[in-house]
Amino acid sequence: MTTAPVFAVVGHPNKGKSSVVATLSQNDRIAIALEPGTTRDRQPYPLTVDGGVLYTLVDTPGFQRPRRVLQWLEAHSLDAADRPETVAAFVHQHRDDPRFHDECELLAPLLEGAGIIYVVDGSVPYSAEHEAEMTILRWTGRPSLALVNSIGDQDYGDSWQAALGQFFQVVRRFDAVRAPFDQHLSLLRAFGQLEPGWEQPLAEAVSHLSEQRRQRRREAAALTARALADMLSWAEQRTLTVNQAASQGSDDLARELRERWYQRQRQREQSLRLEVEHLYQHTRLNRQEAELSWHRDHDLFSERSRKLWGVSRSYLATAGFGAGAAGGVGIDALTLGHSFGAGALIGGLIGAAGSVLYGDRLAASALNISGWNQGLQTARFGPVQDSQFGYVILGRAVDHWWRVAHRNHAGREPLDLQPTDTHWLERLDRSHRSELQRAFEQCRKGRPMDREQHQRMVDAIEAAFAAYDHWRLNPT
Ligand SMILES: Nc1nc2c(ncn2[C@@H]2O[C@H](COP(=O)(O)OP(=O)(O)OP(=O)(O)O)[C@@H](O)[C@H]2O)c(=O)[nH]1
Ligand SMILES: [Mg+2]
């Protein structure tokens, strides 16, 4: 069994050290902030997959007094051979000296065998003040790699590369917030080149992480399938006594059940969001303002959002709504055979979001009241009769999944779920589309799916993820 490599992430204050650690250790709890001096003490963050540590990153505070440290080192070194010991002597001697707290914290893991990841900000020009830092790091004699992480918009990467190349074995550009997953893997391979003993553990880390990513996508599709089946087949019920039935009009009753039904759908969608976020180890995404709240103007249930989420009439036609759809027949006409039409459904749901369009008409028609049985009656609202609802929920879920799966753990901005204006779902192949349509129909009719059917639905959703991913990367 090989030991997992350890890397200390070091550099100037406020240049993205903690951001690099957060992204590469998939840990969104690490403190990242605009103010310098956010990280006060060194802290190891292991990346664990299936109970095994693949590598550990040590977050550290930034250099505070590199020139003073270098002066001390130069004054206490006899020749190049004793430089690592001189650095160790410095740390030993200044461990309790508050002036050099930060330097001792960042050098200690290097003395214990960690490799160096030196982080600079490529959006500000190179300056000689970094030379003292780089010289101190070189004196430790540890394997080293420099990362040019750009915080702002300017690009001084080339001048940085030239300077860094003289001090570090490998120099890479890496944007901690935006770098796609492939670049994480390529960076890990570069770490493996720093020391012979690290090549194998980091090659294993790359293969574990690739496999984990495939599994997560599969699991996210399964979670989405479960939520869809649940939401599409959901009905609210209430049992009424004779007195209750007499005192409450059916409009009133429908309104009550409808409110509960909306509430339940919202909660179920929210719980799917959390499940997917936790799957990808995002534990504190800010969804309050920018993302999953119910904006009135692109509400889940509005006609506009149906269009935005990519469910076009031609898609509905191919998915099983009949030839009339392609000819431009209105949505209501397409679904005439159902117990309530898409127009009424959408209108009613808009009603829930604040407008009163169609509200009561829908409420009355969606309510189903049983006959009397031993002095009791059952009122039932749902399940939703239009499979279009499924496409809206699916569209939102796929978009959320994509943003979470592609989000680095250094990201601290709110997750902003902007609706798209392209019918990306049409890129899904015909057989998976039909599979989805079949699954939605089955849920609508309240028929439970067997294992195989459920599995086919998961496959179709995974294919929808892939289609969306492809569309995002090749939008035209
Ligand atoms: N746009 C962008 N911003 C980044 C990136 N990396 C860091 N930042 C921002 O830069 C600021 C500092 O990031 P940190 O990761 O806390 O920096 P640090 O080097 O750990 O800072 P100290 O612990 O204070 O030394 C934060 O506001 C980050 O959001 C990046 O790759 N892109
Ligand atoms: Mg920090």
Quick: pLDDT tens for 50-92. Answer: 889 999 999 999 999 999 999 999 999 999 999 999 999 999 9
Instruction: Give pLDDT, residue 433.
Output: 86
Instruction: Give pLDDT, residue 350.
Output: 26
Nearest CA to ligand 1 atom 4: 151
Residue 363 has pLDDT above 90, yes or no: no
Residue 265 has pLDDT above 60, yes or no: yes
Atom of ligand 1 nearest to the CA of 20: 15
User: What CA–CA distance (Å, rounded) separates 215 from 157?
Assistant: 36
Considering only residues 381 and 339, tell me which one the structure prediction assigns the higher pLDDT: 381
What distance in angstroms lies between residue 401's CA and the mean position of ligand 2's atoms?
28
User: Among all ligands shown, which has an atom nearest to the Cα of 410?
Assistant: 1
Question: Quick check: CB of 33 below 6 Å from ligand 1?
Answer: yes
Instruction: Give pLDDT, residue 198.
Output: 96
Please report whether residue 413 resides in a domain: yes
Handedness of CA 168, 173, 178, 180 (dihedral sign): negative
What's the pLDDT band for 428 if we cut at 50, 70, 90?
confident
Please report whether residue 209 resides in a domain: no
Considering only residues 443 and 136, tell me which one the structure prediction assigns the higher pLDDT: 136
Tokens of 155: 């690009």
* Edge-to-edge strands, sheet with 170-173: 43-49, 52-59, 6-11, 115-121, 144-149, 170-173
Question: Quick check: CB of 299 below 6 Å from ligand 1?
Answer: no
Backbone angles phi and psi of 235, in degrees to 5: -130, 140
> For position 40, which CATH number holds?
3.40.50.300
Instruction: Give pLDDT, residue 143.
Output: 97
What distance in angstroms lies between residue 192's CA and the mean position of ligand 1's atoms?
25
What distance in angstroms lies between residue 22's CA and the mean position of ligand 2's atoms?
10
Q: Of 194, 227, 246, which marks where a domain is finished? A: 194
Question: Quick check: CB of 38 below 6 Å from ligand 1?
Answer: yes
Q: Are residues 183 and 224 in the same domain?
A: no
Pocket test for ligand 1, best of 10, 14, 59 (most atoms within 8 A of CB): 14
Question: Quick check: CB of 141 below 6 Å from ligand 1?
Answer: no
Asked which of 328-332, 396-400, 443-447, 468-472 is least confident by mean pLDDT, the reply is 328-332
Q: Are residues 181 and 223 in the same domain?
A: no
Q: Are residues 308 and 432 in the same domain?
A: yes
Q: Are residues 232 and 317 in the same domain?
A: yes
Please report whether residue 139 resides in a domain: yes
Integer angstrom CA distances of residue 2 from 49, 208, 209? 15, 15, 17
Q: Are residues 41 and 152 in the same domain?
A: yes
User: What CA–CA distance (Å, rounded) separates 335 from 323?
Assistant: 12
Residue 45 has pLDDT above 70, yes or no: yes
Integer angstrom CA distances of residue 12 from 15, 62, 173, 178? 6, 5, 17, 21
* Inter-residue contact 278 to 404 (CB < 8 Å): no
Structure confidence by residue, pLDDT tens digits, 380-410? 887 876 656 787 788 878 889 999 999 999 9
Q: Are residues 250 and 389 in the same domain?
A: yes
Residue 359 has pLDDT above 50, yes or no: no
Pocket test for ligand 1, best of 9, 12, 18, 117 (most atoms within 8 A of CB): 18
Q: Are residues 41 and 184 in the same domain?
A: yes
Helices (H), 77-174: 83-94, 101-111, 129-140, 157-164
What letter represents residue 188's amino acid? L
Considering only residues 441 and 455, tell me which one the structure prediction assigns the higher pLDDT: 455
Please report whether residue 210 resides in a domain: no
User: What CA–CA distance (Å, rounded) separates 155 from 100?
Assistant: 32
Please report whether residue 201 resides in a domain: no
Query: Does this model's pTM top 0.75?
Result: yes
Considering only residues 266 and 91, tell me which one the structure prediction assigns the higher pLDDT: 91
Atom of ligand 1 nearest to the CA of 37: 24
Domain around 307: 216-473
Place of tokens 């019920």: 237
Q: Are residues 293 and 438 in the same domain?
A: yes
Instruction: Give pLDDT, residue 399.
Output: 85
Please report whether residue 211 resides in a domain: no
Q: Are residues 162 and 242 in the same domain?
A: no
Q: Of 194, 225, 247, which marks where a domain is finished? A: 194
Q: Are residues 166 and 75 in the same domain?
A: yes
Instruction: Give pLDDT, residue 312.
Output: 53
Structure confidence by residue, pLDDT tens digits, 140-176? 999 999 999 999 999 999 989 999 999 999 999 999 9
What's the pLDDT band for 46 if we cut at 50, 70, 90?
very high
Considering only residues 356 and 137, tell me which one the structure prediction assigns the higher pLDDT: 137
Give which of 326, 313, 227, 302 is closest to 270, Cα–Cα: 227
Considering only residues 324 and 112, tell me which one the structure prediction assigns the higher pLDDT: 112
Provide the number of structural domains found in the chain. 2
Atom of ligand 1 nearest to the CA of 152: 1
Instruction: Give pLDDT, residue 256.
Output: 86
Q: Are residues 244 and 146 in the same domain?
A: no
Atom of ligand 1 nearest to the CA of 19: 15
Q: Are residues 274 and 181 in the same domain?
A: no
